[in-house]
Amino acid sequence: MLRLITDFDGPIIDVSERYYRVYQVCLEKTRHPTQSVQQLTKAEFWQLKRSRVPETQIALKSGLNETQAQEFSQLRRQTVHTQPYFQYDNLIPGAIDALLKVQQAGIDLVVMTMRRQRELDYAFKQYNLDRFFPANRCYCLSNDYVKTRDIEDKPLLMKRALAELPPSAETWMVGDTEADITAAKKHSVKVMAVESGIRDRPQLEMYHPDLIFANLSSSVEYILKPQLVNLA
């Protein structure tokens, strides 16, 4: 059996609009009433995020001072994963078709995400995604989980998944961050990074994934090559 473990945000869901809306709100809340700021365009903001420019630097580039930059960063962390903003998430183009192809090929499909259960449930309901991922193929954080850092938490989730899932002839991971690559490598899982998420190619290359593709669709095209599908 061939298994594909996919991250959620990045390969399937585009979070850029949510992150940009939160940036706008936090910038507005942090600036003084008469203070002039330089709001970045969405493209400018997202490129900074993808190249891992710190939040405080983004704040400074937007015209806030050092003290405000710290306030901005803290407010953003408190806000970005709250319920009012998940409505701004969108599907990555081609993601549903890619999931359908995986499902139709008989490949074992698993989702592994740093979202909390309620956050994943919201997106599943919004886009009817539970048809691809039954409960025993969903690995996410509990609603009361105390996060440390994704690069530390995600390998723990991978460890749990590999202990619970039935054996497979080959397993691949698809993800868009260093946490995905680290989790896969730590547990000897082959990993494909995608450029459709919150890290750009240079950032992904630093962690040496096995392959880098533009998006989930391209990753699935590779997975569906005859020599791999024969394992399914």
pLDDT tens digits in sequence order for the chain, 232 residues long: 899 999 999 999 999 999 999 999 999 999 999 999 999 999 999 999 999 999 999 999 999 999 999 999 999 999 999 999 999 999 999 999 999 999 999 999 999 999 999 999 999 999 999 999 999 999 999 999 888 889 999 999 999 999 999 999 999 999 999 999 999 999 999 999 999 999 999 999 999 999 999 999 999 999 998 655 555 4
| 36 and 127, same domain (yes or no) | no
96 shares a domain with 74: no
Q: Domain of 49?
A: 16-87
- Whether 99 and 9 map to the same domain: the answer is yes
Asked if 185 and 148 sit in the same domain, the reply is yes
* Domains held by the chain: number: 2
Same domain membership, residue 195 and residue 95: yes
128 and 196 inside one domain: yes
User: Phi and psi at residue 115, in whole multiples of 5°?
Assistant: -70, 150
Report the DSSP pairing between strands 211-213 and 90-91: unpaired
Q: What is the Cα–Cα distance from 54 to 66, expressed in whole angstroms?
A: 13
**End residue of a domain, out of 87, 113, 147:** 87
> Of 87, 116, 132, which residue sits at a domain end?
87
Q: What does the alpha-carbon distance between residue 20 and residue 42 come to, in Å, rounded to a whole number? A: 6
Residue with tokens 């710190």: 54
- Do 122 and 140 meet the contact criterion of CB atoms below 8 Å apart? no
For residue 70, CA distances in Å to 23, 54, 124, 125 come to: 13, 11, 34, 35
Residues 72 and 124 in one domain: no
Distance CA 232, CA 228 (A): 8
Distance, in Å, from the CA atom of 12 to the CA atom of 98, rounded to the nearest integer, reads 9
**Do both 96 and 43 map to the same domain?**
no
By the 10 Å C-beta count (0-12 exposed, 13-18 middle, 19+ buried), 54 is classed as exposed
Tell which of 57, 72, 87 closes a domain.
87
Do 70 and 108 fall within a single domain? no
Do 31 and 48 sit in the same domain of this protein?
yes
pLDDT for position 225 = 85
66 and 152 part of one domain: no
